[in-house]
């Protein structure tokens, strides 16, 4: 058996992940009134069977006003807990940890699903029989031309949204999740507060960098208080964006987040003014966002997760072995191959006999490999 850092455990507070492989949050847009469905069960179950150490749900909305579109998952009421609990129990039974990402879309609320056009909703009629919801943001500045102008949030709105994050986190604990990730990237509400391009406020929530960071840091404080001490807390950030946010600012913010009990930064990029979760104005090549995870890890001194075009097992192994990140998150590659972790373990020589797999698969696949039916890759 070959030594591997990718397949070494990672301890974060009271949680030990069995390996460094994470399923990145990926919106499915098939929830019913925010509730997880059988689709979600099957979708997440695959990744646990596939051997990932940590499986994240999609961006789960903390209040109905935060919905991206009908079909987004939510955890703004207790009725949404049981179907998530069923998923979490299955992930645990397979030895995977369960993570939930929390988000509020802010001015990006109200879009069609990607395969239905991805644009802003036509608000002249109910959508799929449901009432529309109000679009709010730090300032009355639309995301892009043709998109709704959000109502500028009042102090009360700000307090309500912070409390919604804390309430959703308490429900996540009731559903037995192991990790919370707050989504502060990709142009959603938290990122909108951070960026001077979307935040023109003149009160304590806007203006200086310190003021623009206040909303994110207040959410970190509220979430940390609501989440058990022994469970880790992650933040996803856009390490850089096309509207001028810099890596230096990310290092500063990560340092502040760490001081508020955040354990890991998930280092994505872009999305403030561009309609894509991976757009950062930099060429997209394999591991193009890894340098952000490396820098933040080194200079802010906390764990980081690298994401974006990580596909090859040897590449993932080297990212961890070279200390560039503590975790690697895979998105589209996991949709293509939910068994990526087991295949990587075999390819890296860590588990050529598939002993990490559930015995009901292991027995057959070991024999299949020994009989030479496995494709050479």
Ligand X SMILES: Cc1cc2nc3c(=O)[nH]c(=O)nc-3n(C[C@H](O)[C@H](O)[C@H](O)COP(=O)(O)O)c2cc1C
State the residues that interact with ligand X by CB under 6 A: 24-27, 58-59, 101, 183, 186, 236, 268, 277-278, 307-310, 330-333
Shorter beta-carbon distance to ligand X: residue 329 or 354: 329
Report in angstroms how near the CB of residue 124 gets to ligand X at its nearest.
27
Shorter beta-carbon distance to ligand X: residue 19 or 101: 101
Distance CA 264, CA 181 (A): 9
Report in angstroms how near the CB of residue 330 gets to ligand X at its nearest.
5
Report in angstroms how near the CB of residue 309 gets to ligand X at its nearest.
4
Q: Which of 68, 101, 70, 69 is nearest to 84 (CA)?
A: 101
Query: If you ran DSSP here, which 8-state letter would residue 130 be given?
Result: B
Catalytic choice (188, 292, 354, 361): 188
Shorter beta-carbon distance to ligand X: residue 284 or 370: 284
Residue nearest to ligand X (CB): 331
Shorter beta-carbon distance to ligand X: residue 206 or 269: 269
Report in angstroms how near the CB of residue 295 gets to ligand X at its nearest.
18
Report in angstroms how near the CB of residue 331 gets to ligand X at its nearest.
3
Q: Which of 56, 54, 52, 51 is nearest to 40 (CA)?
A: 56
Per the annotation, the verdict on 354 as an active-site residue is: no
Shorter beta-carbon distance to ligand X: residue 4 or 57: 57
Q: Which residue has the tokens 């390490």?
A: 239
Query: Is residue 198 a contact partner of residue 139, using CB atoms and an 8 Å limit?
Result: yes
Query: Is residue 83 a contact partner of residue 37, using CB atoms and an 8 Å limit?
Result: yes
Q: How far apart are the first and last CA of the chain?
A: 19
Distance CA 55, CA 53 (A): 7
Based on the number of CB atoms within 10 Å of its own CB, is 174 exposed (0-12), middle (13-18) or buried (19 or more)? middle
Locate 52 and state its tokens.
Answer: 């990932």
Gyration radius of the chain's alpha carbons: 20
Distance CA 222, CA 169 (A): 9
Catalytic residue ranges: 188
């Amino acid at each position: 058996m070959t030594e591997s850092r990718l397949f070494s455990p990672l301890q974060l507070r009271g949680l030990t992940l069995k390996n460094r492989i994470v399923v990145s949050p990926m919106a499915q847009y098939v929830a019913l009134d925010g509730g997880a469905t059988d689709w979600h069960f099957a979708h997440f179950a695959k990744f646990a069977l596939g051997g990932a150490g940590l499986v994240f749900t999609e961006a789960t909305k903390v209040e109905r006003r935060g919905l991206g579109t009908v079909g987004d998952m939510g955890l703004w009421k207790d009725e949404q807990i049981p179907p998530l609990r069923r998923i979490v129990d299955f992930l645990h039974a397979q030895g995977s940890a369960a993570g939930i990402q929390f988000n509020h879309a802010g001015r990006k609320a109200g879009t069609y699903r990607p395969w239905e056009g991805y644009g802003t909703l036509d608000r002249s009629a109910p959508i799929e029989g449901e009432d529309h919801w109000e679009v709010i943001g730090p300032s009355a500045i639309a995301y892009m031309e043709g998109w709704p102008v959000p109502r500028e949030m009042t102090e009360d709105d700000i307090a309500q949204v912070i409390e919604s994050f804390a309430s959703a986190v308490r429900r996540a604990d009731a559903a037995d999740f192991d990790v919370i990730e707050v989504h502060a990237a990709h142009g959603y509400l938290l990122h909108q507060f951070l960026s001077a391009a979307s935040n023109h406020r003149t009160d304590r929530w806007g203006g200086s960098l310190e003021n623009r960071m206040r909303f994110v840091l207040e959410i970190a404080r509220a979430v940390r208080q609501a989440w058990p001490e022994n469970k880790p807390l992650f933040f996803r950030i856009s390490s850089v964006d096309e509207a001028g946010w810099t890596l230096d600012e990310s290092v500063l913010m990560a340092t502040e987040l760490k001081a508020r009990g955040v354990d890991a930064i998930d280092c994505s990029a872009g999305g403030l003014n561009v309609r894509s979760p991976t757009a950062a104005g930099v060429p997209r090549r394999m591991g193009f966002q890894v340098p952000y995870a490396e820098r933040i890890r080194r200079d802010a001194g906390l764990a980081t997760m690298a994401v974006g075009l990580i596909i090859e097992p040897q590449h993932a192994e080297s990212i961890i072995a070279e200390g560039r990140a503590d975790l690697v998150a895979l998105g589209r590659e996991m949709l293509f191959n939910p068994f990526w972790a087991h295949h990587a373990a075999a390819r890296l020589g860590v588990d050529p006999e598939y002993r990490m797999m559930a015995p009901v698969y292991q027995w057959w696949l070991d024999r299949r490999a020994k009989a030479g039916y496995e494709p050479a890759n």
